[in-house]
A and B are shown apart, each in its own frame.
Chain A
Amino acid sequence: MSYALTEEQQLIQQSAREFTQEYIEPIASVIDHTSIHPSAVVQLMAEHDFLGLYLPEEFGGASAGYLSYVLIIEEISRVSGAVASILINHASLAAYSVNRFGTAAQKQAYLSALCSGEKLGAFALTEPGAAPGAGVHKVVAAKEGDNYVLNGHKCYIPNGGVADVYVVFALTSPEAGVKGMSAFIVDGNTAGLTVSRTIGKMGLRGCQSAELIFENVIVSNRNLLGAEGAGMKIAQQAQLAANVAEGAQAIGIAQAAMDDAVRYGKQRIQFGRPIAAFPAIQTMLAEMATNIYIARLAVYDAASLIERGEPFMKEAAMVKLFTGRVGQSALIDVIQIEGGYGYSQEMIASRFYRDIKGAVINESSVEFPEKVIAKDLLA
């Protein structure tokens, strides 16, 4: 196990930082205020090979490895959690599923377009009334000849309405519950697939979440991803891969928030001293810096497991669990340090505070991380 980033990884990180400073940071708060999907930023990310970064070269990806990919997620998250979410849903969920479980023909048809950025991906799992993890999935796919016909509702689908390709989970054997769930690749412009509304969110605004309606949506059996009934496994694997990216998102947000608190603490004078001179503030900063440091190591380690093709489920779940705690506790302290300043609506600390919650709750839906970890331990 190597603990130093390679020169190439460092350069990728530096290049991503240049990119985010130039193209994302100046508009990050506007993206948040307006909640509008930043299509120009996504286009620029595509031109800079972000969308297919870790995906295979033969399909137009950059084959840079999953660690390089999470480095980029971390950099983007330091300026905009929302843009990071757009990329995670595209790359870790939609494209990951097609790359890992798709046939050669499916990859040719979809992965190339996802890597080049010609098409943006989304991952349609959650349904209304279905509490996370409950396994109640009401989009049903009925087989008719060479096709499946999908009917039902999905909600809280990130990139919903702006994506061109959806990985959709639907019940092919409703009587079998989650074991009867299958995954499909569905073009966004397929007849019968509509967006009924977009959903306003507390944070990660600009990563558009939408409610999708499937009304007699005809999907060819060539677009069945994996075997019938393999939906649960696909969803879980993709979500765990996404968990590692979300870990990077959480530490990126936490790091940026901490940097902001450090700057503030050194400048804000109270009782004749900068507040950073007070032990209470120093304790909070030291704690969050330590947590972020350890969490980052875990994120990088889990990412390199994925990169090397080794089992990563337990570690990904641990990353999800730990980075979530670290991120949330850091943001609580950052707001505490910055007081009224950080609490102001236009300040980045309050945006990060809202965003971190989103980064933490996303993709913990199929199984709670604790359950994944315990299952592995007790196996």
Chain B
Amino acid sequence: MPKILVCYKWVLDEQDIKINSGNLSLDSSRAKYKISDYDKNAIEEATLLMEAYEGNVDALTFGSDKVKQSLKDALSRGPGSVQWIGDAAFEQADAFVTANVLAAAIRKNGTYDLILCGEGSADSYSQQVAPRLATLLGIPVITFVQKLCMDGSRTIATRKLGDCTEVVEVEGPAVISVLPEINKPRIPSLKQVMAAAKKPSQEIKLAELELSAEDIIPKTVSISVKGYIMNRKNILFKEASQADNVAKLVASLAQEGLC
């Protein structure tokens, strides 16, 4: 009966963010929020472990005051309860602050057999929170996991690291970060969506956590964010005859010295 925690981040949907053509600033005024895609894999994996080993899954998130909108969404995907910290400090938080806050919230709640995270977040994708969290909690971390199973208090994970895979084992609690390929997150059924409303959620105030002032001062500060525009030639061949189009393309590639 493992006790599992899954952490997720409530992020802006990058598909809705527009780049203002003048100064390349980002316009997120029409962007909706979503559970970070990679974290959906973590939630799904936690839920699959729960189903396989009859454990239970809690979810934990740190975000702005808007993060409250995410609770039922998260709960509809499997976890039995959710705790959330919604604070303006999130807006400036870097991985250092985020890991400090999550670790403090976890310490407040006692222990978990496993803590799952996505490999990175869909917005900043810094891939730091899982190893930082483990280090702060003084437990091992297993990152980039493509396959996960439990055997009593042992966890066996297959990591995928670019040029190789490796099987690692850990005894006792650990933090795991999962790769997107580990599973395909379910789309909750409507009954699961409706059942989410009845599951418990609990707010944790930042002030309730044992954090020093320094713990919530970010180490990295964003100076600017600019749309990344590529300067490409954007030459389109769209004649009805594909033979003509191909001939023109090949001629252009020849000019580029590519054929």
Q: Chain A: residues with CB nearer than 8 A to chain B?
A: 7-8, 11-12, 14-16, 18-19, 22-23, 47-50, 53, 62, 64, 68, 72
Contact = CB atoms under 8 A, between A and B. Distances in A.
Given A8-B197, A11-B196, A64 B72 contact: no
Given A15-B193, A48-B190, A62-B190, 18 more contacts: A7-B72, A8-B72, A8-B193, A8-B194, A8-B197, A11-B72, A14-B73, A15-B188, A15-B190, A16-B190, A48-B188, A49-B190, A50-B190, A53-B190, A62-B191, A64-B194, A68-B190, A72-B190
B76 A15 contact: yes
Nearest to B190: A49
Interface of B: 72-73, 76, 187-191, 193-194, 196-197
Interface of A, secondary structure class, is helix
Contacts of B73: 11, 14
Contacts of A16: 190
A8 B192 CA distance: 11
Nearest to A18: B187
B187 A15 contact: yes
A144 to B, nearest CB: 43
B76 A48 contact: no
28 contacts: A7-B197, A8-B72, A8-B193, A8-B194, A8-B197, A11-B72, A11-B76, A11-B193, A11-B196, A12-B190, A15-B187, A15-B188, A15-B190, A15-B193, A16-B190, A18-B187, A19-B187, A22-B187, A48-B187, A48-B188, A48-B189, A50-B190, A53-B190, A62-B190, A62-B191, A62-B194, A68-B190, A72-B190
Given A7-B72, A62-B194, A49 B187 contact: no
A47 B72 contact: no
A11 B193 CA distance: 7
A371 B188 CA distance: 42
Nearest to B71: A7
Contacts of B194: 8, 12, 62, 64
Contacts of B196: 11
B40 to A, nearest CB: 10
A49 B76 contact: no
Contacts of B76: 11, 15
B187 A64 contact: no
A224 B80 CA distance: 45
B246 to A, nearest CB: 20
A18 B13 CA distance: 13
A64 B193 CA distance: 10
Contacts of A18: 187
Q: Which of A11, A16, A49, A53 has the largest number of chain B CB atoms within 10 A?
A: A11
B190 A64 contact: yes
Nearest to B197: A8
A18 to B, nearest CB: 5
Contacts of A15: 76, 187-188, 190, 193
Contacts of B72: 7-8, 11
Nearest to B77: A15
A11 to B, nearest CB: 5
B189 A47 contact: yes
Contacts of A62: 190-191, 194
Contacts of B193: 8, 11-12, 15
Contacts of A48: 187-190
A37 to B, nearest CB: 22
A251 B72 CA distance: 27
A62 B188 CA distance: 13
A62 B73 CA distance: 17
Nearest to A16: B190
Nearest to A47: B189
B82 to A, nearest CB: 14
A82 to B, nearest CB: 20
Contacts of B187: 15, 18-19, 22-23, 48
A49 B192 CA distance: 9
Q: Which of B72, B73, B188, B190 has the largest number of chain A CB atoms within 10 A?
A: B190
Contacts of A7: 72, 197
A64 to B, nearest CB: 6
Contacts of A68: 190
A24 to B, nearest CB: 11
A2 B217 CA distance: 43
Q: Which of A15, A16, A49, A72 has the largest number of chain B CB atoms within 10 A?
A: A15
Contacts of A22: 187
A11 B190 CA distance: 9
A57 to B, nearest CB: 9
A335 to B, nearest CB: 20
A72 B190 CA distance: 10
Contacts of B197: 7-8
A196 B69 CA distance: 52
A299 B190 CA distance: 21
Nearest to A7: B72
A7 B193 CA distance: 10
A15 B194 CA distance: 11
A71 to B, nearest CB: 10
Contacts of A14: 73
B31 to A, nearest CB: 14
A11 B33 CA distance: 12
A19 B186 CA distance: 10
Q: Which of B72, B73, B189, B196 has the largest number of chain A CB atoms within 10 A?
A: B189
A182 B73 CA distance: 45
Lowest 10 A-B CB distances belong to which pairs? A49-B190, A48-B189, A49-B189, A49-B191, A18-B187, A19-B187, A11-B193, A62-B190, A15-B193, A62-B191
